[in-house]
Amino acid sequence: MMIPFRLAGRLRTSRLARSTAGSAVVEAAIATPLMLMLTMGIVETARYLYANMTMQSVAAGAAGELARDAEVDVVRVADFLLGAGQLAAPFEFDADGQVVLSVVQGRTDAPAEIVWQARDMRPGQATSRIGAVGGQAALPAGLTLSAGETVAVAEVFYALQPLLGVTPSFNGIYKTAVLRPRVGELSIPQ
């Protein structure tokens, strides 16, 4: 172990300063917390990446469910929203996740508009980042809709909880999926 220079000067003649007994223990005491933090960081990062992939597949499944029928099937969509946590296994989606589904329609000489929206009833009130019903839709860059054209948009919000509660939380995973309807254009039930 290194002895600070001034201290070493004072203790030059003492046996204590020259003794290297126990230096490995002292070094281990310094290095172990660092090693543990590094390991935890690796584990948390891997988990974060895994959660990102999982939430992307939840978004794809959600948009697929909405895009399937010619007319939005509100009963099926509501059922899907309630059961969507199963797509996110092994993550605890029911406590920390939220799905927002929207139908966006193109307008003549105006930005695309959100014509329908549904969210699940899970705790947490994530706000849709594409907008609210009746408002202008913030679609992904490069996606423009011609008048009357519709797309199904799924947004998935997930607050990943750290494993031990000590590492910084990578909060706020946000994934979207945008699908064109399977059959013609999506219509909204009156």
Residue ranges in contact with other proteins by CB under 8 A: 46, 57, 61, 65, 68, 76, 79-80, 82-87, 89
Query: Residue 26 or 89: which CB sits closer to other proteins?
Result: 89
Q: How far apart are CA 126 and CA 129, in angstroms?
A: 9
Shortest distance, CB of residue 126 to other proteins, whole angstroms? 20
Residue 170 C-beta: closest distance to other proteins, Å: 19
Query: How far, in Å, CA of 44 to CA of 170, rounded?
Result: 9
Smallest distance, other proteins to C-beta of residue 53, A: 9
What distance in Å separates the CA atoms of residue 76 and residue 88, rounded to the nearest whole number?
A: 18
CB of 178 to other proteins, least distance (A): 19
Question: By C-beta, is 65 or 155 nearer to other proteins?
Answer: 65
DSSP code per residue over 22-65: THHHHHHHHHHHHHHHHHHHHHHHHHHHHHHHHHHHHHHHHHHH
Q: Which among 88, 86, 185 has a CA at the least distance from the CA of 145?
A: 185
> Which lies closer to other proteins via its Cβ, residue 75 or residue 141?
75
Q: Both tokens of residue 54?
A: 């999982």
Compare residues 68 and 119 and give the one whose CB is closer to other proteins.
68
